[in-house]
Structure formats: C-alpha cells, structure tokens
Structure 1
Amino acid sequence: MADHRHKRVTNARRKMPKAVAVSAPLAMAATVVAVSAGVIFGSPVSPALVADAEPSSLGTLAASSLGAQRSPEVSRDHGRAYLDPSQVASIDARADLKAARAATAKAIKNADTRLWATTDLNLWSESGKDAENLGEVAAGDKVLVTGRKAEGRTEIVLKGKSRWVTSGYFSDEKPVAAAAGLSMAPCPDPGVENGLTSGAVYVYRSVCHAFPQITSYGGWDNHGEHSSGRALDIMTSDSQLGTAIAEFLQSHAAELNLYDILWQQHIWTPVRSSEGWRSMPSRGSSTANHYDHVHVSVN
C-alpha cells in the first residue's frame, strides 16, 4: 500500500564550507580595515593584497601600513632640542675643552725656539687666574717656548707639558750671572729693557737696585751707542748722586764688561783707566754734555 506520508527531504540549498564561512567575514573585516587606513592615512592598501593575504597576516599588514605612516623625520639637532640649558652648556664646555687640548698639543709639537730666563719665574698650570703654581724656572735656564701668550703670561714646554710663566723675562742671549754687589733681580719698570742686550740689562738691574731713588732711565734709541742696545742713560741732575753712580759703575767695570762711562762732560774707559776721567769738548746743551744723566755702555 502506497505510503502517502511525505518523506523528509534533505534541504536542497547548497551548504557553504565551514572554512569559507569563517574566512569571509574576516576578509570583509580586513577590507574595511585596509580601506579605513587608506582613507585616514592617505596610503590605501591594494585590494588584491588584502584578498591574497592569510587571515593571520592581516593584522600585521594593517599595523605595518599604519607604522609606515607614523615614522617621523629625525634631524641632527633633534635630540639637542629636548636638552635643558645646563645640559647644552655642559656639551659646549666639553667641546671647548677638547679644542683647547688639541691647540695645546699642536703648540707643544711645533715649538722650536729656546730662550734664556733672565730671572726666577714661577711655573703655572695655565694662563688664567685659577692656575696652579707648579714650581719655578731658575734665572739662566734655557727653555723651549711655543710662541703663545695670554693674560700676561708666556707658554713654555717643560718635560713635554705646557706650562706658563710671566711674560717679559726671556732673552735670546745667555744672561750674565750677578757678581757680589750686583743684581739680576727684575726692576719696577721692565719696559726699560726692551731692545737692550743682556749685558745692558745687567747694568740696568744692578743700578736699579743699588740706587732705588732713580726712577727714570733711557734705554734703546735710534742714535749713537743706544741704537745697538748696549747703552743706558741713568737720569739725574743731582751731582752727588750722579757721581756716586759713576763710581759704582767704575768699581764693577770688569764684572759688567763696560765700554765707557760719561758724566758731566767727562769720559772714563776701562782700556784707559790709568788716565782717569778725561775731559770732553762741549756739545752745547746740558743733556749733550751729560749733566742731567750718567751714560754707560757695555762691550
């Protein structure tokens, strides 16, 4: 007998594979993300790239696209802009120190001039007021100088290191050692020594300390014996004082290596010392006849 009950018929609609059912929403989401990223950041992601990408790589793809848009340009001074003033000052100070050390090393390397110290000189670690005293250079020592001067001091090289001493007390001639009763200690006016030979400097310093009341001297000049740097004028119109100075010079003529002494229109020379003071013809003025100064010169 025919069974007229309807049989259960399998749903004729085609089922979508599970993997496709899951991946479709993900692909749609990835597309939305990619399109959104393109709209927001101005660099759209290729639809083909999205379609071909594995679901697990879509997040990475979006992140890399976003990250690429956010990479800033970095300049040389980018980090410096975020330093506070004290940090900037510290960096500049280190740069200055490095440059100063390089300049000193170059000066030491190129130093090639040696001069004699005409007096004892303190050694300083640098030219500035905060310099440390490191000892002294003795009068008569021959030292290597760099040629650099700063703040009243001259740079020398001692045992391969930079040292500084007071300027104005070097000579290219070896100074004469002071004999008893004479002196090579500096005088109040070192400017008198400019252009003088070491022998004339010896006379100046000896007279300066023996007769401190004398405050005016004539050193180098472009006339007569003065043009050679070997002569000195000791200015005084006091007859008694001038005679005392002339006699002092006579008594030390050998140690001072004197050539002549002129005073009050008279001349005395070591080579004719047995003749004493010899009269000179008048030259006109009191200055020309040496009534207002004692003139002395060295060999």
Structure 2
Amino acid sequence: MTAITDVGPIPATRTTAGTPRRDRRPRGTVLLGVLAWLVGLLFLVPVAWMVLTSFHSEADAATNPPSLTAPLTLQGYKEFFGASSGASPWPALANSLSASVGSTVLVLVLAIPAAYALSIRPVRKWTDVMFFFLSTKMLPAVAGLLPIYLFAQFAGLLDNLWWLGLLYTVMNLPIAVWMMRSFLAEVPSEMLEAASMDGAGLVRSLREIIMPVVAPGIAATALICFIFSWNELLFARVLTATVAQTAPVYLTGFVTSQGLFLAKVCAASLVVSLPVLIAGFAAQDKLVQGLSMGAVK
C-alpha cells in the first residue's frame, strides 16, 4: 500500500481562472506621473493666459490680476490685421514662410549627403569634421552681426530676403548635419550591401533605401530647422527694413512709445506662433520617433 502523507492545506491562488491579475504600480511611478502633469500645466499656464488675454479688450487685459470673466472680443485680432491702422501683416508672414521653408529645404539638401559621408561612408578624420561643424555654433550670434552687416551693406544685400534665407541655412546646417549623422548611423549596413549587390548606385540607394528608413529623422530635423528660422529675430531685425521684414520683426512693432497694448500683442503673438504649432502637431509622431532613434540599443 502507498502511504498517504498530509501535505497540509493547498494555498489559495490570488487570482481566479479567467481573471487577469492586476499589477500594482509602484508609488514612485505615480508620483513621477503627477509631477510630469504639474510641470506640463506649469508650462501651459502662460500660453493659456496669452490666448485668453488676446480675446479681451485693452482695458480688461491691463487689469492686475487679470480678469477671467471679462467679456470676450476680437478687437485685438482686428487691430493686428490692420482694422484701424491699415498695416497688413501678410507680407511679413509670407517673408517668414518663404525664408524658413526655403532655408529648411536647402539645409536638408546639403545636410543629408554630408551626414551620409560622415556616417555610412565615413571620410578620413570625420571626427575633426564633426568638431568643425560644432565649433561654428560656439560663437555667439551677436559677435558675427557687425561683419555680416558690413558685408551685406557693401554687397547691397540689406533688406534682401534671399540673403536672409542664406543666413538661416548657414546657421542651421551644423545642427542638421549632427542630427542627420546620428540618424544615418542607425541604418543597417546589410541593407546597403544588399542594394549594392543588386546594382543600386548611390543616388538610388539614398532615394529608395536610406530616405524611407530615416524619414522620421528627416522630419525631426526639418521641423527643428523650420522653428529656428521662423523664430529668428536678431539678424532679421538688423538686416531687414520693410521689403524683407519677417513676422518676429513685425511683432516687435507693437511695442511702441505710446505704451504696451497687451491684448493686441497677445493676439499678434498667437497668430505668429500658429504656423510653428501647426507644423509641430502635424509632425509630432515623426518628431518623437526621430528624436528617439538610437536611444534604445
């Protein structure tokens, strides 16, 4: 006969059949989530206050503290679009759009081949080349303002939109090369070797293999260059007057000796910021994916 031993009561399982077990989140994760929301709201409050103030009258916008229940009006936007002064912001907005988009396209045309030569087909002493690109950003922009102004004055390029777009290209090119180099370095070499065995040349490999793989990185680089060009004020303020005036320069015209018209300034700031916000929302998935490329090995 087989002896039967007492093994004691069988412990009950914590979950029943068919019922998934609920994992408790660590308390630290919850606190970090709450902290992240608080920081996000902290950055959102000034933007929300600007949007609300733009729909107030000048008298209500000048109250301290600001009134949240003041009646809403579109007078600030009407003033921005020249309802009383007759000054139109459309030429300045068009100049900013032309200079930003044109310089961004030119930056990508120059940065992608340069990054290809520094990552996939590295040139000799490529680290020195990368340091040279980085060193161009070590000089403060204001330090090069006077020689650039004197050169533009001598060459007759003051108040010239093409010259401004070329400056934006030069300023954003080092950043684009560094970003694109990190993205292209993640392209598997086996893909290029297979394309080379199939007879694909450099141009075809770039167009049909490399570009689709690094498309999120290209979108992230283009968006950052566009934002930097659109928001640039120093060179545009000094080198332009009326013909090539950009949106940030036009925006500074609302701060006059007569006083600060807060509602009109907030309305103008919101309108000028809309292209960047629209571009950011349209490419936010590509931006996050591009900026995170290579972050997880």
Shorter-chain TM band: under 0.3
Alignment TM-score, normalising by the size of structure 1: 0.19
Larger fraction in strand: 1
Alignment TM-score, normalising by the size of structure 2: 0.19
Larger radius of gyration, structure 1 or 2?
A: 1
